[in-house]
Amino acid sequence: MKKIEFLNLGSHPITNSYLSTKKPKKEFMYNLKLIYHSSTKLISLGKFVSPKKMFNDKYAHRASASKTMRSAYEKLAKSLIKTYKPQSILEIGSNDGCFIKHFKKINNIGVEPCKNLADITSRMRIKTYPNFWTKKLSKKIINQNGLFDIIYSANTISHIHNLKETFDAIEISLKKSGIFILEDPSLLEALKKNSYDQFYDEHAYVFSLTALKNLTRKTGLEIFKVEKLNTHGGSNRVFFKKKINQKVQISKKYIKFLSDEKKFGIEKLSTYRKFARNVKKSKNALISIFRKIKNDGKIIIGYGATYKSSTVLNYCGLKNNFIDYFLDTTPTKFGKFTPGSHIPIYQYKGIPNNVRYAYLGAWNFKDEIFKKEKKYIRNGGKFITHVPYPRII
Ligand code: DWN
């Protein structure tokens, strides 16, 4: 198998390391490169950052921070209860309990290596293992709780480096009729939207369905159904069953989605070379927009100090001279500075009247944000985005 680098995004910090000072003495940086795996068609980072450096007891992101995700998880929980009538469910990467809290009536268990988050769900009386997902942990959980009807994991499997071990551990933890549901950003959508900010330290992989199919070939799991979601800039909700369970049919939609990916060129290296060219163009166009506004002496704020935006800020060299400050609703980010770019983050209390330009760090929540900011828009306020191409809206 060949591993071919197709894009070098330069030097980047740990996205979760929101800083307490504008001028840190030392900041860990690594080279963010993207790699194409010729045999599995997997797209990964060139070099992985140590999980302990990224997922610690100061983890900032809260799944509950947006209305969109709160209602998406509630809706999914209701549908899973109705369709599968589970007696037991395990969530890998349970964050602040946004999803798993909907299963209080059954045996619901969380796995969350970030201790500060695991403490939140423990306080909600949800049994939570404050560990990384490994085969060893899965055996301990099975011994203590038995096998599961459903294992769910949103925006987490793409963060775990050893995928073979991850899938094997899931397989041994499921009942024969059990299902595993993975939800992660879709590579196809990232390519279509030129959203290169889906790549950062935590996102060791951005999955295509094609790669997931290839990766599980040597495991006991197989995909039987896929749902396309709008969340996080376009995600796939992928349903796996055990290969030994012959009762479940493989959905026609999934086969169609696979062929859509093939038609787009997801298997070809040339697709990624083209993506790399588009990313470079996007960088230049975005910098021009910022320069023009700043040359006119206007304030630009950032809306949502997302982990994703760290890739854009550090790749494009957008520091405090371009973005005056970020506004965010997540309390753990208030009073901090963005990693690498050192831009202050303040508590969101509405967009101040003197602001006319806001860079959409949380572009994936554009609909929710535009609904909330009707007054700002009515008064002539504009948003800057780089997705799918840099522009002012
Ligand atoms: O996979 C991951 C995703 C799910 O969450 C993690 N690796 C880390 C994190 O990535 P992110 O920061 O790019 O995720 P979000 O969910 O796009 O972050 C949104 C941020 O924007 C939050 O800090 C909340 C903030 N926000 C805001 O200030 N006002 C969001 C909305 C909708 C708003 O109106």
Give the per-residue pLDDT at 89: 98
Q: Which helix (H) or strand (E) holds 142?
A: helix 135-145
Tell me, yes or no, whether 299 and 199 share the same domain.
no
Q: Contact at 8 Å (CB) between 303 and 369?
A: yes
- Please tell me whether residues 172 and 306 are part of one structural domain: no
The DSSP-derived string for 326-376 is EEES-GGGTT-B-TTT--BEEE-SS--TT--EEEETTGGGHHHHHHHTHHH
Q: Which pLDDT score, from 0 to 100, does residue 1 have? A: 81
pLDDT at 212: 98
Residues forming a β-bridge with 228: 236
Residue 18 beta carbon below 6 angstroms from any ligand 1 atom = no
Residues 192 and 122 in one domain: yes
Number of domains into which the chain is organized: 2
Give every residue of the chain whose pLDDT is below 70, as ranges.
Answer: none
What CATH number is associated with residue 308?
3.40.50.720
Q: Are residues 139 and 120 in the same domain?
A: yes
Looking at the CA of residue 348, tell me the nearest atom of ligand 1.
28
- Report residue 168: phi and psi, to 5°: -60, -40
Distance 88 CA to ligand 1 centre (A): 29
Token reading at 14:
């740990």
Atom 10 of ligand 1: nearest residue by CA position: 307
For residue 362, the CA-to-ligand 1 centroid distance in Å is 6
Q: Could you tell me if 243 and 336 lie in one domain?
A: no
Of 216, 238, 269, the residue that ends a domain is 269
- In terms of residue numbers, what domain contains 292? 279-392
Give whole-number Cα distances, 6 to 38, 43, 131, 268, in Å.
Answer: 12, 10, 34, 12
* Alpha carbon of 250 to ligand 1 centroid (Å): 33
Q: Is there a single domain that holds both residue 375 and residue 287?
A: yes
Atom of ligand 1 at shortest distance to CA of 369?
Answer: 34
Mutate to test the pocket of ligand 1, among 55, 114, 183, 306 (most ligand atoms within 8 A of CB): 306
Mutate to test the pocket of ligand 1, among 56, 61, 312 (most ligand atoms within 8 A of CB): 61
Q: 157 and 215: one domain? A: yes
Same domain, 254 and 288: no
Residue 177 included in any domain: yes
- Tell me if 254 is assigned to some domain: yes
Give the SS3 label for residue 51.
Answer: helix
Residues 283, 219 share a domain: no
- Tell me which residue of 201, 162, 224 sits closest to 314, measured CA to CA: 201
Same domain, 333 and 255: no
311 lines ligand 1 (CB under 6 A): no
Ligand 1 atom at minimum distance from 200 CA? 7
Amino acid at 242: K
What is the pLDDT, as a whole number, of residue 309?
A: 98
Domain closes at, from 244, 269, 294: 269
Indicate whether 164 belongs to any domain. yes
22 belongs to a structural domain: no
72 and 197 together in one domain: yes
Ligand 1: residue of 66, 67, 348 to mutate (most ligand atoms within 8 A of CB) is 66
Say yes or no: 243 and 337 in one domain: no
The Å distance, Cα 306 to ligand 1 centre, comes to: 5
Q: Is residue 328 part of a domain?
A: yes
Instruction: Look at residues 269, 290, 311 and tell me which one is the last residue of a structural domain.
Output: 269
CA-wise closest residue to 9 among 160, 190, 199, 178? 199
Nearest CA, atom 25, ligand 1 = 304
Distance 140 CA to ligand 1 centre (A): 32
Residue 380 burial (CB count, 10 A): 7
Ligand 1 within 6 A of 308 CB? yes
